[in-house]
Amino acid sequence: MFQKVIILVDDEKIILDSLKTQLKNNFGNQFIYEVAENADDATEVIEEMVKDGYDIIIIVSDWLMPGINGDEFLIRIHQKYPQIVKIMLTGQADDTAVQRAKNLAHLHCCIFKPWTEKELVDTIKSCLGDM
């Protein structure tokens, strides 16, 4: 059976550390948690992991990042990997960006910063229920 992976993308290391810690506290070793500080690094991680036979099931991506915003990143990922569930995490995305991601990347949901651990965990659980 393929190992299931959750990818976390944010340009702030403290956010990545917090997300990873909260997920590990609630889901333990049920998943592999990979982090990336920008869309290019995340794309590279995804392609490597897919090539190596891992099953990437969820991406949690920040919206406001250097280079490319989260909605555009998630749209690109969706075009190549439509089966991956996509979540946007943001404190600054406008309604247009969220709607665009919903329409073009089949965004599962948008979590607004600051989030609660319960909100994050419940969102991941809702993703798992859709699989």
How far apart are alpha carbons 50 and 68 in whole angstroms?
Answer: 22
Summarised one tens digit per residue, pLDDT across range 65-109 is: 989 999 999 999 999 999 999 999 988 877 898 999 999 999 999
Strand partners, 107: none
Kindly indicate the confidence band of residue 27, based on its pLDDT and cuts at 50, 70 and 90: very high
CATH superfamily ID and name for 4-129: Response regulator (3.40.50.2300)
Question: Where does the pLDDT of residue 23 fall: very low under 50, low under 70, confident under 90, or very high at 90 and above?
Answer: very high
1 pLDDT above the threshold of 80:
no
Give the amino acid at 20: K
Question: pTM of the prediction?
Answer: 0.95
Kindly indicate the confidence band of residue 7, based on its pLDDT and cuts at 50, 70 and 90. very high
Interatomic CA distance for residues 51 and 43, integer angstroms: 12
- Rounded Cα–Cα distance for residues 55 and 61 (Å): 17
* Whole-number pLDDT of residue 127: 93
The per-residue pLDDT for range 46-71, each reduced to its tens digit, is 999 999 999 999 999 999 998 999 99
Average pLDDT over all residues of the chain: 94
Q: Tell me how long the chain is.
A: 131
Supply the pLDDT for residue 130.
Answer: 63
What are the Cα distances from residue 78, in Å, to 17, 21, 24, 57, 106? Answer: 25, 26, 25, 12, 8
pLDDT at 94: 78
Going by C-alpha positions, the residue among 72, 16, 5, 79 that lies closest to residue 39 is 72
